Structure 1
Amino acid sequence: MAMNKIQFQAGLSLHEFLHQYGTEAQCEAALFAARWPHGWRCLRCDAERYSCTHNGRKLWECLGCGYQCSSIVGTVFENTKLPLRTWFLAIYLMTQSKNAVSA
């Protein structure tokens, strides 16, 4: 049986992961960068001007049409009550096992 190249890729250590995604703000910033790589744009009118508020999680409001959204709207995290860092850690633990994931 041939060797699987994915098994021998260098992974991200838990220490490095927690350094990059250890806080809620870091996780939200990573989600924002992945979702809007060229800056925030309104999902309804495609405007670039917005106002940002903090009510637990950051909330962006379009200055053109008044539409409000957060970084988790339209993602798998949308209706979660858990912090983003919990989800990021779960995803990290699930994806770092190269052979099999053990419950």
Structure 2
Amino acid sequence: MHVNIQNLIDNAYCYAMVRQLRLAEGTQCPFCDSKHIIKRGFDDKEPARQRHECKDCGKRFDDLTGTIFAAHHQPLKTWILCLYFMDLNRSDVQQMTTQFREGVEKKEDP
């Protein structure tokens, strides 16, 4: 999957990407593996996070239930951006860090 870094700062895009990757074969309950699922609106604090309910076991879940992203205080876009940067070459990161530091130091000079 090709990802544009500009999209990674958009939480709605990040949720859509997680849904696409996680639910490639359709939505299924992370508790009982049933595919009898209905949508139950969106999260109050994260409006891009889709809620679901399993018609078989009755449990509710959302896009992040059962993932490493669940129950963390950082927004999903922060996690996705971190994953993006983990894929960079070490020398590229070193060069970017050096340029960033030099740019900050120049801005701080009176």
* TM-score under structure 1 length normalisation: 0.69
Contact 2:38 2:55 in 1 (8 A): yes
Q: Normalised by the size of structure 2, how large is the TM-score?
A: 0.65
Residue identity over aligned pairs, in percent, reads 25
Larger radius of gyration: 2
- Structure 2 unmatched runs, 5+: 98-110
Gaps of 5+ in 1: 1-11
Greater relative contact order (Cα < 8 A, sep 6+): 1
Residue 51 of structure 1 aligns to a residue whose secondary structure is strand
Query: 1:33 pairs with 10, 14, 20, which one?
Result: 20
Question: 2:54 matched to which residue of 1?
Answer: 62
Q: Separation in 2 of the partners of 1:18 and 1:52?
A: 29
Native 8 Å contact 2:14 2:76 kept in 1: yes
Indicate if the aligned counterparts of 2:34 and 2:54 stay in contact, CA closer than 8 A.
no
Separation in 2, partners of 1:25, 1:40: 18
Conserved? CA contact 2:37–2:52, under 8 Å? no
Q: 2:85 aligns with which of 74, 93, 101?
A: 93
31-40 vs 47-56, greater mean Cα deviation: 47-56
Deviations 1:25-62 (A, max 9, x none): 11111111111102101221513331232123321111
Q: Is the 8 A contact 1:45 1:64 kept in 2?
A: no
Secondary structure at 2:86 match in 1: helix
* Contact in 2 for aligned 1:49/1:63 (Cα 8 Å): yes
Runs of 4+ in 1 over 6 A off after TM superposition: none
1:4 aligned partner = none
Pairwise CA RMSD: 2.4
Cα distance in 2 for residues equivalent to 1:50 and 1:85: 25
